Structure 1
Amino acid sequence: MLQLRDKLRDKGEQMPLAIALRDLCAANQALLIINDHADISAALGPEHVGLHVGQTDLAVADARKILAPGQLLGRSNRDIDLIIESQEMGADHVAFGSMYNTTTKPMIRDPQGPERLKQARAVAQVPLVAIGGITVDNVAPVVEAGADAICVTAAVGSAPDPEAAAAGLTEAIRAAGGRV
């Protein structure tokens, strides 16, 4: 799974990249998740493309009106009560975090950590995606706490050798009992 989360470019500039990433994901039997932009996700079609929205973005019900039937839709959650709300709204997966301190976004509250992730796992009835500050050095407790997936940005994107960083993360996930 790959997420396109581009907060700097406008939609017109994102579309060619989104098309190229969709084609790359389709060729590798992977899923592309578009962050925030239901119209881009819908335009790329339901095959291999989903949408992710945050708490203050487009409502899940409104996104469903734009997306194709069955197109995957996830929602960010900073609290366990919000996971329940997201599920009731019809989210197909829920992101939970930040697990650890992160430099990708300003931290407005303390990290959740693996213990809170265990509590989230107990209420999540859909796939649970752990987000925020996850690295090769701290991914094992996240996997062991029950994350169905993890989301990383800096751990790979800011690494001197992103390919090696991704390989190391993959190895650490498998060593902790996760699957990739």
Structure 2
Amino acid sequence: MCAANDALLIINDHADLAAALGPDHVGLHVGQTDLPVAEARKVLAPGQVLGRSNREIDLIIESQHMGADHVAFGAMYTTTTKQVTRAPQGPERLKQARAAAQVPLVAIGGITAANVAPVVEAGADAICVTAAVGSASEPEAAAAALTEAIRAAGGRV
């Protein structure tokens, strides 16, 4: 397991890749229709971090019972990264997720430097972004702006 100040790379959906990269700084995240948590644990090294996506509060509780080390909740805002047919969860619903989560809570979906403050204030332990950095014309500057916005909102970076 990583120390608080160590970098941690979370691989999405590919347990084999996460396992091959090793337990020290690499974890895995699975969705509701991906490899089940129990099966993913069989592939990962002991102590390797494993998270699961959740779109409802009851799924957060289910993921925790399955042994997820962290739970993702979203989409917070409208996103173009994935086709999402549900309305965005938003920060108010994230507060409900925070109350239910007994493990670190990761907010995901449509988060940018311009809208991250309410997510941090609602209790997210971490955020997951794709387009905010990956689709930016200057990804390094976008990541720096996001980091500063998190700090300004009282979050840890």
Larger relative contact order (CA 8 Å, sep ≥ 6): 2
Equivalent of 2:137 in 134, 156, 160: 160
User: Which runs of 5 or more residues in structure 2 are unaligned?
Assistant: none
121-130 vs 31-40, greater mean Cα deviation: 31-40
1:90 is matched with which residue?
Answer: 67
Shift of 1:135: 0.7
2:49 is matched with which residue?
Answer: 72
- Root mean square deviation of aligned Cα: 1.0
Shift of 1:42: 1.1
Matched pairs, number: 153
- Confirm whether residue 128 of structure 1 aligns to residue 105 of structure 2: yes
Query: TM-score, length-normalised on structure 2?
Result: 0.95
- Confirm whether residue 139 of structure 1 aligns to residue 153 of structure 2: no
2:153 is matched with which residue?
Answer: 176
* Structure with greater proportional helix content: 1
Query: SS at the partner of 2:120?
Result: helix
Query: TM-score, length-normalised on structure 1?
Result: 0.83
How far, CA to CA, are the matches of 2:24 and 2:115 in structure 1?
Answer: 33
Equivalent of 1:149 in 117, 120, 126: 126
Runs of at least 4 residues of structure 1 off by over 2 A? none
Query: Identity rate of aligned residues, in percent?
Result: 86
155-164 vs 80-89, greater mean Cα deviation: 155-164
1:47 is matched with which residue?
Answer: 24
- Confirm whether residue 38 of structure 1 aligns to residue 45 of structure 2: no
Post-superposition CA distance 1:17-57 (Å, at most 9, x none)? xxxxxxxxxxx931111111111111121110111100000
Whichever of the two has the greater Rg, that structure is 1
1:100 is matched with which residue?
Answer: 77
How far, CA to CA, are the matches of 2:63 and 2:150 in structure 1?
Answer: 26
